[in-house]
């Protein structure tokens, strides 16, 4: 009985101290990409490492912010608010612009328009970590990405039925109406291509490694404090398919405690917890004045934005050297972002802003399962440096309630060199 109580108390303390051996932080507060931390590098924080990883990403749908009973997915541009031409026309009228919807169609309320979208990209990420003493280390990461996206505007099923858009003449009129809306508000659908870098992640980590304690071969506890430098590509207000590569121009910080336990040789479990926050600032931005989509708001001006906090939980298990240097890792990641705060900073706030949709659409949650194959090239070799090859597959899930995030799949091939 005493042995069981001691084991329970030890396990509880480990998980409260909180969580994993994180090679690098990456930017976790991005709803479009699984920029998840590399929680494992084959050793502990007493050793430095360098990580290089080519990767590929693809997405063709997103989880709805408020999923219905039947349809739970739509195109990723809808994450900024679903498009309804009736609501957009009302916003234009409030802004002093005549309603562009033809008179014979103005009865249509709602007037839903779908925004299907896909994107594909190829990138290369770099990460490094160096211990400065027996208990302090520093590290950082950055990646380069080329992204090709496509987003279109097509009538919703209800709109096709109401306006009889199966008729060729009505189809042409709908296309012309779409062009008029885009011309007025300054948006464009179709292809969008962007190449550039991510935000830069720099961190300092305090760690403590103990061997042969609490019936375990090794326990590696650590706490990281990081800075997110907004060097990443930002989304364009004029292309509905554009997405940010990082935090969309906002500086940020994070706090991330971690623990990794080697139960016995080649058997490891770990857990990481993170809280991440971007600093508030005032930027030139579209400002909703009715119920219109954020992407099509006709009014632009200075807007104070205080991004909500992001929290993440990342448990994992790794089995090394199952067969001549071959190992496997399974990781689960759950990330939640709270609502952003908006404040209109225009001198003359006419027409008045309406932040209800912008606020609701800014809250999201995503979850991923990661399967990673590991191969230790130094197996049965007395090498000074230990190269570890990885093949990683990030799979979007909806088990605990993903919402408001893109279903992006990521496949990567990497090499970690420990020293």
Domain borders along the chain are 2-418
pLDDT tens sequence across 26-56? 678 999 999 988 877 778 889 899 999 999 9
The band of 11, judged by pLDDT with boundaries at 50, 70 and 90, is very low
Residue 12's pLDDT is what? Answer: 37
Comparing 15-24, 50-59, 202-211, 390-399, which segment has the lowest mean pLDDT?
15-24
Among residues of the chain, what percentage have pLDDT more than 90? 80
pLDDT tens sequence across 65-81? 887 656 789 999 999 99
Residue 8's pLDDT is what? Answer: 37
Residue 69's pLDDT is what? Answer: 56
Mean pLDDT of the chain: 90
Residue 346 has pLDDT above 70, yes or no: yes
pLDDT tens sequence across 261-286? 999 888 999 999 999 999 999 999 99
Residue 20's pLDDT is what? Answer: 36
Instruction: Look at 372 and 320; give whichever has higher pLDDT.
Output: 372
Average pLDDT, stretch 217-237?
95
Residue 153 has pLDDT above 60, yes or no: yes
Which of 309, 288, 362, 340 lies closest to 31 in space, CA to CA? Answer: 362
d(CA 169, CA 95): 30
Residue 7's pLDDT is what? Answer: 36
Which of 52, 415, 45 lies closest to 224 in space, CA to CA? Answer: 45
């Amino acid at each position: 009985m005493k042995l069981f109580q001691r084991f329970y108390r030890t396990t509880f303390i480990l998980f409260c101290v909180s969580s994993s051996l994180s090679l690098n932080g990456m930017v976790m507060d991005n709803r479009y990409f699984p920029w998840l931390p590399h929680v494992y590098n084959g050793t502990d924080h007493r050793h430095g490492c360098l990580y290089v990883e080519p990767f590929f990403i693809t997405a063709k749908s997103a989880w709805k912010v408020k999923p219905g009973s039947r349809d739970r997915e739509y195109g990723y541009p809808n994450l900024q608010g679903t498009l309804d031409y009736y609501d957009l026309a009302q916003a234009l009228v409030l802004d002093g612009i005549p309603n562009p919807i033809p008179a014979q169609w103005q009865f249509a309320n709602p007037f839903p328009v779908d925004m299907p979208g896909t994107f594909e990209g190829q990138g290369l990420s770099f990460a490094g970590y160096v211990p400065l003493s027996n208990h302090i280390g520093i590290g950082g990461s950055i990646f380069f990405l080329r992204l090709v996206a496509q987003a279109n505007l097509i009538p919703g099923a209800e709109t096709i039925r109401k306006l009889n858009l199966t008729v060729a003449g009505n189809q042409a009129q709908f296309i012309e109406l779409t062009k008029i809306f885009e011309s007025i508000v300054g948006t464009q659908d179709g292809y969008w291509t962007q190449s550039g870098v991510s935000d830069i992640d720099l961190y300092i980590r305090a760690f403590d490694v103990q061997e042969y304690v609490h019936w375990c071969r090794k326990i590696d506890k650590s706490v990281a404090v990081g800075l997110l430098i907004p060097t990443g590509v930002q989304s364009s207000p004029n292309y509905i398919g554009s997405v940010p590569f990082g935090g969309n121009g906002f500086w940020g910080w994070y706090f991330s405690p971690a623990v990794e336990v080697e139960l016995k040789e080649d058997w490891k479990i770990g857990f990481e917890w993170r809280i991440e926050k971007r600093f508030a600032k005032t930027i030139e931005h579209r400002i909703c004045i009715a119920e219109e989509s954020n992407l099509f708001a006709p009014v632009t001006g200075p807007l104070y934005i205080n991004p909500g906090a992001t929290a993440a939980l990342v448990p994992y298990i790794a089995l090394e050297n199952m067969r001549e240097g071959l190992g496997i890792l399974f990781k689960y990641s759950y990330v939640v972002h709270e609502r952003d705060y908006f404040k209109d900073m225009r001198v003359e706030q006419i027409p008045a802003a309406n932040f209800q949709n912008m606020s609701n659409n800014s809250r999201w949650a995503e979850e991923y399962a990661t399967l990673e194959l590991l191969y230790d090239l130094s197996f049965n070799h007395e090498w000074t440096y230990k190269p570890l090859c990885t093949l990683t597959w990030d799979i979007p899930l909806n088990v605990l309630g993903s919402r408001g995030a893109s279903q992006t799949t990521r496949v990567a091939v990497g090499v970690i060199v420990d020293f």
